[in-house]
Chain A
Amino acid sequence: MKVAELAKKTANFSAGIVEEKLTPPWKEAWISFYKNRLALAGLGIVVFFIIIAIIAPIIAPYSFKDQVLADRMLPPSSEHWFGTDDFGRDIFSRIVYGARISLWVGFFSVLGSVVAGTLLGIVAGYYGRWVDAIISRIFDIMLAFPSILLAIAVVSILGPSLQNALIAIAVINIPNFGRLVRSKVLSVKQEEYIMAARAVGMKDTRILLRHILPNSISPVIVQATLAIATAIIEAAALGFLGMGAQAPTPEWGKMLADSKNYITQAPWTLFFPGVAIMLTVLGFNLMGDGLRDILDPKMKQ
């Protein structure tokens, strides 16, 4: 309350002592997000797929795994909107259930990399010296691999499965967040209020939690939104290479891999899963771009 009043007074002072109501920052952010049509479209797409994922059992007309061999590779029709695959499974139902998998992998893998990356970044940035040296070298090494390649390496150690693909994607994204948070910590550490906090005897953990962490949140949110987009593509790529989801899981990348031999007879088996991947990724990309413009104007290209 006191801080808010103080901020108000300062604002009034600099604005030429005109009494006016201050908009809370989150509301301001929402207004500019709302004005950004592309970002809003992105949010719309993402919400659409989240809803589909939640109500999948209600809207899916068929099971995602029941094989009806009499109905193999039927083209799209009013009965099977997106056609059927080589086992006679309804592609529309499989895509609807697939939304659950892609969103789940995208969200939790990024959550994992955010948590691990933030922790390592804070430790490296705040404690510096050899801790920083070691962590930063590890990041360097991880970034020396093209990301999908590192994911393949991790999966070949852990064995192919959807869960291991998720872990692999989480691992490969750690250095991105780690570096981001580290650089933020380094710049915040120099600020006078941190020195003041230290001078009055505030403990390290308290400084980290109260001052440094909140300052790193907005770039991390931006980066995380964009990372979900990449994670979804990477999960699909691993599924496509046979290193992610296994049959009969209706993962979109896996669906493409299973149908790629039927490209001549049944191209619809390939068309729709790809569109689903593209739209979801586009949604997160648009949202991330929009959030970047709003939360972190300096990051604008």
Chain B
Amino acid sequence: MLTLFSEVKKLFTYTVRRVFSLIPVLIGMTLVVFAIIHAIPGNPAQVILGQRATAESIATLTKELGLNRPWYIQYADYINALLHGDLGVSLRTRGPINEEIWSYLAATAELTIVAMLIAIIVGVNAGIVSAWFSKSWFDYIAMVLALIGVSLPIFWLGLMEQWVFSIELGWLPTTGRENVRDPVAAITHFYLIDTLLQGRPDQFITVLKHLVLPSLALATIPMAIIARMTRATMLEVMQSDYVRTARAKGLSMFWVVYKHSLKNAVIPVLTIIGLQTGLLLGGAILTETIFGWPGIGRYLYDAIGYRDYPVIQSGILIIAAIFVLINLVVDLLYVFVDPRIKYTK
């Protein structure tokens, strides 16, 4: 009982320390994002408005963005606003960014989660089967595919998917998230959930069809990496003592190994989730651009086109913050999943 208590205490201290270690990182992130607008050479208002802007419009924007005050006051203001959940106003839509951003975030979350699920399910199983039939034709093909997978530019993969599956075969829609003539009434902005809540299986299928191509494109790289890692872990597991024991007992080898390796795959997969979220979130920008997916990446891409700097800042900040948060969760999960990992330091 006492040891349990001290364990919990240790875990708690670790968690607190890990959370506190984020503070300098978060401050640094806001500085970088703040610098985006202030490090532009020349007058940022001029850059935002372009060459043909009138002097008045430049003066108005300078005032609106508060660019005429010293930078540290602007930074203090910026932090103050952020702490109050205020992300500024989009120059293009004139809407407050913190209200606009939710639907985009939900769209990205839905896409990324589905992509990650595909990557984990296919990747782990491909890795296990590859290792089990190591040096077979399946292994070779799977590993060559995995090698190609990590070398693919996903924006190109997305375009090729559109070409083959939408344009040539006509199986799946090219772009968007829903049927524009029959839009989904948003509740949570997770359309798969929303359509079910409203009892619209027809819309659910439509939404699912829109999800297939972008999520497959996004899943490719993590899938390839997970498959390679799982295969390596599996090859180790198969040489271990307990597998030999299981075999001696006459148990069905495949299932023994399968179960054990699934358990062993948890750690590499966790690592991948942590490491790949950055890649996935970065990849989301490209995937969403190609598939017209109304997510945070598309929001950012459009903002870049319109030089909508407040949105560029907030988009980058939010994505980076999510990335940091997920890494924090993964780090904490490690400790819970694998008792061998020390959390004293």
Interface string of B289-333 (1 = CB under 8 A from A): 110000000001100110001001000100110011000000000
The answer to the question of A1 belonging to the interface, with a C-beta cut-off of 8 Å to chain B, is: no
- The interface residues of chain B lying within 8 Å CB-to-CB of A301 are 228-229, 232
Q: Do residues A278 and B153 form an inter-chain contact, with CB atoms below 8 A? A: yes
The answer to the question of A161 belonging to the interface, with a C-beta cut-off of 8 Å to chain B, is: no
Q: Do residues B155 and A256 form an inter-chain contact, with CB atoms below 8 A? A: yes
The answer to the question of A137 belonging to the interface, with a C-beta cut-off of 8 Å to chain B, is: yes
Contact of A270 among B31, B32, B159, B316 (CB under 8 A): B159
Q: Do residues A277 and B156 form an inter-chain contact, with CB atoms below 8 A? A: yes
Main SS class of interface, A: helix
Q: Do residues A281 and B32 form an inter-chain contact, with CB atoms below 8 A? A: no
Given contacts A146-B281, A149-B282, contact A141 B25 (CB under 8 A): yes
**In whole angstroms, how far apart are the Cα atoms of A146 and B274 in the complex?**
11
The answer to the question of A243 belonging to the interface, with a C-beta cut-off of 8 Å to chain B, is: yes
Q: Do residues B290 and A156 form an inter-chain contact, with CB atoms below 8 A? A: no
**In whole angstroms, how far apart are the Cα atoms of A153 and B309 in the complex?**
10
- Nearest residue in B to A280 (C-beta to C-beta)? B151
Q: Do residues A146 and B320 form an inter-chain contact, with CB atoms below 8 A? A: yes
The answer to the question of B248 belonging to the interface, with a C-beta cut-off of 8 Å to chain A, is: no
The answer to the question of B286 belonging to the interface, with a C-beta cut-off of 8 Å to chain A, is: yes
Q: Do residues B29 and A145 form an inter-chain contact, with CB atoms below 8 A? A: yes
Contact of B32 among A137, A153, A263, A277 (CB under 8 A): A153
Q: Do residues A274 and B153 form an inter-chain contact, with CB atoms below 8 A? A: yes
Q: Do residues B282 and A147 form an inter-chain contact, with CB atoms below 8 A? A: yes
**In whole angstroms, how far apart are the Cα atoms of A75 and B228 in the complex?**
38
Interface string of A138-176 (1 = CB under 8 A from B): 101100111111101100110100000000000000000
Contact of A140 among B28, B160, B167, B304 (CB under 8 A): B28
Contact of B33 among A137, A153, A285 (CB under 8 A): A153
Residue from the set B25, B33, B283 with the largest chain A CB neighbour count within 10 Å: B25
Q: Do residues A241 and B301 form an inter-chain contact, with CB atoms below 8 A? A: yes
Residue from the set A237, A271, A277 with the largest chain B CB neighbour count within 10 Å: A237
- Interface size range of chain A in the complex: 35 or more
- The interface residues of chain B lying within 8 Å CB-to-CB of A237 are 153, 155, 286
Contact of B323 among A144, A156, A241 (CB under 8 A): A144
**In whole angstroms, how far apart are the Cα atoms of A271 and B153 in the complex?**
12
- The interface residues of chain B lying within 8 Å CB-to-CB of A38 are 147
- The interface residues of chain B lying within 8 Å CB-to-CB of A286 are 147
The answer to the question of B148 belonging to the interface, with a C-beta cut-off of 8 Å to chain A, is: yes
**In whole angstroms, how far apart are the Cα atoms of A141 and B24 in the complex?**
8
- The interface residues of chain A lying within 8 Å CB-to-CB of B300 are 152
The answer to the question of A116 belonging to the interface, with a C-beta cut-off of 8 Å to chain B, is: no
The answer to the question of A282 belonging to the interface, with a C-beta cut-off of 8 Å to chain B, is: yes
The answer to the question of A74 belonging to the interface, with a C-beta cut-off of 8 Å to chain B, is: no
Q: Do residues A285 and B150 form an inter-chain contact, with CB atoms below 8 A? A: yes
Given contacts A145-B320, A149-B316, contact A140 B151 (CB under 8 A): no
Q: Do residues B301 and A267 form an inter-chain contact, with CB atoms below 8 A? A: no
**In whole angstroms, how far apart are the Cα atoms of A149 and B163 in the complex?**
27
The answer to the question of B35 belonging to the interface, with a C-beta cut-off of 8 Å to chain A, is: yes
The answer to the question of A82 belonging to the interface, with a C-beta cut-off of 8 Å to chain B, is: no
**In whole angstroms, how far apart are the Cα atoms of A26 and B259 in the complex?**
43
- Nearest residue in A to B286 (C-beta to C-beta)? A237
Q: Do residues A277 and B153 form an inter-chain contact, with CB atoms below 8 A? A: yes
Interface string of B78-106 (1 = CB under 8 A from A): 00000000000000000000000000000
**In whole angstroms, how far apart are the Cα atoms of A285 and B152 in the complex?**
11
Interface string of B13-53 (1 = CB under 8 A from A): 00000000000110011011101100110000000000000
- Nearest residue in A to B24 (C-beta to C-beta)? A137
- Nearest residue in B to A243 (C-beta to C-beta)? B304
Interface string of A259-276 (1 = CB under 8 A from B): 010011001001101100
The answer to the question of A92 belonging to the interface, with a C-beta cut-off of 8 Å to chain B, is: no
Q: Do residues B28 and A157 form an inter-chain contact, with CB atoms below 8 A? A: no
Given contacts A146-B319, A278-B152, contact A141 B28 (CB under 8 A): yes
**In whole angstroms, how far apart are the Cα atoms of A240 and B155 in the complex?**
8
- The interface residues of chain B lying within 8 Å CB-to-CB of A243 are 304
The answer to the question of A253 belonging to the interface, with a C-beta cut-off of 8 Å to chain B, is: yes
- Nearest residue in A to B231 (C-beta to C-beta)? A301
The answer to the question of B279 belonging to the interface, with a C-beta cut-off of 8 Å to chain A, is: yes
Given contacts A260-B290, A263-B167, contact A146 B151 (CB under 8 A): no
The answer to the question of A242 belonging to the interface, with a C-beta cut-off of 8 Å to chain B, is: yes
- Nearest residue in B to A151 (C-beta to C-beta)? B282
The answer to the question of A56 belonging to the interface, with a C-beta cut-off of 8 Å to chain B, is: no
> Within the complex, what minimum Cβ distance (angstroms) separates B309 from chain A?
8
The answer to the question of B130 belonging to the interface, with a C-beta cut-off of 8 Å to chain A, is: no
- The interface residues of chain A lying within 8 Å CB-to-CB of B319 are 145-146, 149
- Nearest residue in A to B38 (C-beta to C-beta)? A157
> Within the complex, what minimum Cβ distance (angstroms) separates B264 from chain A?
14
Closest 7 CB pairs of A and B: A141-B28, A274-B156, A148-B282, A146-B278, A146-B282, A282-B151, A281-B151
Can you give 30 contacting A-B residue pairs, CB < 8 Å? Answer: A38-B147, A145-B278, A145-B320, A146-B282, A147-B279, A148-B283, A149-B285, A152-B300, A153-B33, A153-B36, A156-B309, A157-B39, A157-B40, A229-B151, A233-B153, A236-B155, A237-B155, A240-B155, A241-B289, A256-B156, A260-B159, A263-B162, A270-B156, A270-B160, A278-B148, A278-B151, A282-B148, A282-B151, A285-B150, A301-B232
Q: A140-B24, A285-B147 are in contact. List 12 more A-B contacts (CB 8 A).
A: A140-B25, A141-B24, A145-B319, A152-B304, A152-B316, A156-B36, A233-B153, A236-B155, A243-B304, A270-B156, A274-B153, A278-B151
